[in-house]
Structure 1
């Protein structure tokens, strides 16, 4: 008799975590008809867009495998917390709800013949504290890591650096030290380490996450072998006693990225009117924004370069209790731009707020992407073979930029070591930005050729016989084996 297995997924409540997690679940149940998945979701009180997406999941019945994917919304009792406290406290606030939900799954399995049996938890990289609960149920934990393999190796490295060599990350902020990290070919400067200029609470959370990651049975990483072969090989070194590493990407969901928005048709119509590979696309993610002074420098660079451009420009969020909120769209773009800029560039450029990023990257008119180097944006750019100019802002983005520029050669260094720490925000001058744009848009550059090559390989990774699909099948076999 075929063993039927059930996995419980617990994603973090962020679009960059939720969307690829749902897509991963769909891939897994498509590959094996004996596998069922229950996804436990939480609506964050600070993001209406995520709440709307969570609501849409339960209503989705378009997939042929949806009857083997269930969505259960968990309550959250305290709406008056900031993002960090909300995420870091989720394991505590949701533990009893998760335990009750999983207990019901187990009881149903025991009482109904031929029901799938609980085979494991798949936890978000930010929610590794649920490992203890999985242990209570006597099943293994896995993690879906929504950043890259090189950064996972960095996380393991700094955790050992702190715990075994007593190196304090916060004390590195003004040093020029370079570290030899196994998951990177080249030495990495402390200027790129993401948590060395932040609060002790963030560092503690990051280090705890690294410790708990070592306790899981396996880690699915949203990458593919051809992209990060060195990092994957270093993580798979049996001497390090790391969990099993499963490169399963690129996990992308373009259906949800084309959501209805009043700007969508206008933007795509404008793109349709542009020549092939002629547009430089500037977009800095859901949290990316600049001061008016920096906006002026970008505008001057674009005007001086003469290139066609599509620029997603957002107003910085308001600070509440020292924490900056999410950026919003400007009511009037002219308020943030140099006088006359929109008129002077009307024939070659478009400045807008929200953009359908995947749709723009896939458009033949797009010739280059000035990006914050968020991992999902990086994978989209690779998928559509669009070379990147690296301008990271915070988090792991600087390390991603280092990987793309120095390790892989598929991005140019516009400002890889950009300083954006609290009130210490660097102003990048127009000449420097213009130089980066010209380099990015060079049609004969090695960066463009390398991006085309790795993009071609990304398209094959999840096809039959591809490296990532083979890895997904290996992961499923391991899950099924848990039931023996």
Structure 2
């Protein structure tokens, strides 16, 4: 039986690393012909702890190993650099590492790149090995990246709201997409070129794995299933999530135990979780507005507040005077919340989210309705899809600028959406079951890589 080694190159950001590791686990558990999955970890300025995190994940998995790449010199970016410059600086060392892996083994090799690493497709070509892309985002975002080069052929310049291009006809969406909800980078000349380049280079991959499932995005899934042109085959294999705590690297803290005990004491579906991701930082005035809304509504809540990206600030400092006393017993304020465990708890009835795709899928998996509060990157587009396309979330705000000073956020209760989310939860589980759409797509990918003897 011929063995194969898969080489993964993720962006060294926590969400990307977690999804990559969980996908690797699924693949090795499905087919013994995959002897090893090797994950290469870049050292980038914005991810100083990535290497240690990945090492902790792979330590107990003998068939998944990680290789720490040498640190490269990163000079401050200037106006000629794009946001992938620090990734590209790793290409020489990655090329050497892959060359060594391929030459030192008689096994066949396959390269799986994070979609932010598409420029490394050239390495696969030089080593004559197949190359796939792993989209940690969703089908809609892949469709947006596919659309960009098509638009660029007609309008070869960055987006500009003042030009009248206010609504976009993107094939993977049923509705016209407001230009105000697409990633802000495409309004910048330099970053626009980067996004277009990513969209162009995706065509060169042999296939694209997407962390989503067909029932979650039926119109987009149907669009890609039709194929056409020279676009690679798309495999919707999601949700790829850590739902069992495999990626927890530390034992439960006293704060965690206290939080879960408090949840155990609350009525079913009565607690609102407010959590905005590792980069979700609010100003003091925004925090006061949210606090005011929580007091007005009177809902039970767990609220994770980050006053800086390091997450080491005091979450209580920016709160209005007396807020803790007035909400004592019905709310918890913290700097970090165990999001998956809270969403899984029967007491949780709603989730105010920044709309990162992993967070959305976790919420759908556990059937918790979402109120959207997108903040950066593709989160605006995710929120638009959830609210307008799929009817799976309620809208708190869809404008991009997170000012929050002129309006009090509205916490909305919507029975129809709650029902739809519960139904989607069942569909997500079905997708990953035997014969489910995502499991079939995963097996199809393995067959494409290794052959039909599954």
Whether TM-score is above 0.5 comes out as yes
Equivalence for 1:480:
450
Asked if 1:158 is matched to 2:148, the reply is yes
Equivalence for 2:374:
392
Moved more, 273-282 or 228-237: 228-237
Question: Would you say the 8 A contact 1:124–1:145 is kept in 2?
Answer: yes
Provide the rounded CA distance (Å) in 1 between the counterparts of 2:98 and 2:338: 37
Q: Tell me, what secondary structure is at the counterpart of 2:8? A: strand
Asked if 1:105 is matched to 2:127, the reply is no
Provide the rounded CA distance (Å) in 2 between the counterparts of 1:197 and 1:267: 41
Provide the rounded CA distance (Å) in 2 between the counterparts of 1:76 and 1:88: 16
Match of 1:251 among 220, 233, 240: 240
Equivalence for 2:306:
314
Asked if 1:70 is matched to 2:65, the reply is yes
Match of 2:281 among 281, 289, 312: 289
Deviation at 1:102, TM superposition (A): 1.9
Asked if 1:407 is matched to 2:389, the reply is yes
Match of 1:94 among 87, 90, 93: 90
Q: Superposition pairs for residues 5-404 of structure 1, below 5 Å? A: 5-35=4-34, 36-58=36-58, 60-61=59-60, 66-78=61-73, 81=76, 88-110=84-106, 116-118=107-109, 120-162=110-152, 164-172=153-161, 175=164, 177-195=166-184, 199-254=188-243, 255-256=245-246, 258-260=248-250, 262=253, 263-315=255-307, 317=308, 326-331=309-314, 333=316, 335-404=317-386
Structure 2 gaps, min length 5: none
Residue by residue over 1:62-108, the C-alpha shift from the partner in whole angstroms, topping out at 9 and shown as x without a partner, is xxxx3332211111222555799796135532222222222222222
Provide the rounded CA distance (Å) in 1 between the counterparts of 2:165 and 2:96: 50
Question: Would you say the 8 A contact 2:74–2:86 is kept in 1?
Answer: no
After TM superposition, the score normalised by the length of structure 2 is 0.93
Equivalence for 1:322:
none
Q: Tell me, what secondary structure is at the counterpart of 2:71? A: coil
Question: Would you say the 8 A contact 2:272–2:348 is kept in 1?
Answer: yes
Cα gap change, 1:195/1:357 in structure 2, threshold over 3 Å: closer, same or farther?
same
Q: Superposition pairs for residues 432-471 of structure 1, below 5 Å? A: 433-434=409-410, 437=411, 439-440=412-413, 442=414, 445-471=415-441
Structure 1 gaps, min length 5: 111-115, 318-325
Equivalence for 1:427:
405
Deviation at 1:178, TM superposition (A): 1.0
Q: Tell me, what secondary structure is at the counterpart of 2:376? A: coil
Q: Tell me, what secondary structure is at the counterpart of 2:104? A: helix
Residue by residue over 1:166-191, the C-alpha shift from the partner in whole angstroms, topping out at 9 and shown as x without a partner, is 25334236746211111011111111
Residue by residue over 1:5-52, the C-alpha shift from the partner in whole angstroms, topping out at 9 and shown as x without a partner, is 222111111111111001101111111100132111123344344233
Deviation at 1:57, TM superposition (A): 3.4
Moved more, 209-218 or 251-260: 251-260
After TM superposition, the score normalised by the length of structure 1 is 0.87
Provide the rounded CA distance (Å) in 1 between the counterparts of 2:162 and 2:69: 39
